[in-house]
Amino acid sequence: MSFRGGANALSGMGVADHSKSTYMELQRKKAYRYVIFKIDEKKKEVIVEKTGSPAEGYDDFTASLPENDCRYAVYDFDYVTSENCQKSKIFFIAWSPSVSQIRAKMLYATSKERFRRELQGIHYEIQATDPTEMDLDVIKERAN
């Protein structure tokens, strides 16, 4: 029997193994364009809610985020540098829309650091409370 309490309970949620392995498939194998994670309060852990195929674009990704609830997401951004090199940067996005419930915002805020530490190889982090804070221009600007 595993005990999940004490200091662990204070530092937020656990992270499902499936969440870590799905992220690694995005990072190492480019199996996905993006992964959206949500907190499962019953299981007290961060789980995969949705994955996007490599063919999907940024609009597909942003359309997959709920308008009124918080999520964590990773997005694999491919771009071409001014020297004409193909590059890729992985973004961690903490989506916390201003209209979401205070309780959800607090839950996601307190669990974020612990979850993000589990994901090795993130290049940039964006905290967004509305879509303009994470639109494609913001991503492009950060990546260059």
Question: Cα 15–50–90 angle (5° rounding)?
Answer: 70
Amino acid at 66: P
Whether the pLDDT of residue 10 is over 80: the answer is no
**Alpha-carbon span 9 to 58, nearest angstrom:** 34
pTM tops 0.85, yes or no: yes
Neighbours of 127 (CB within 10 A): 13
pLDDT digits (tens, 9 = 90+) for 13-67: 789 999 999 999 999 999 999 999 999 999 999 999 999 999 999 999 999 999 9
pLDDT digits (tens, 9 = 90+) for 53-109: 999 999 999 999 999 999 999 999 999 988 999 999 999 999 999 999 999 999 999
**Alpha-carbon span 48 to 96, nearest angstrom:** 17
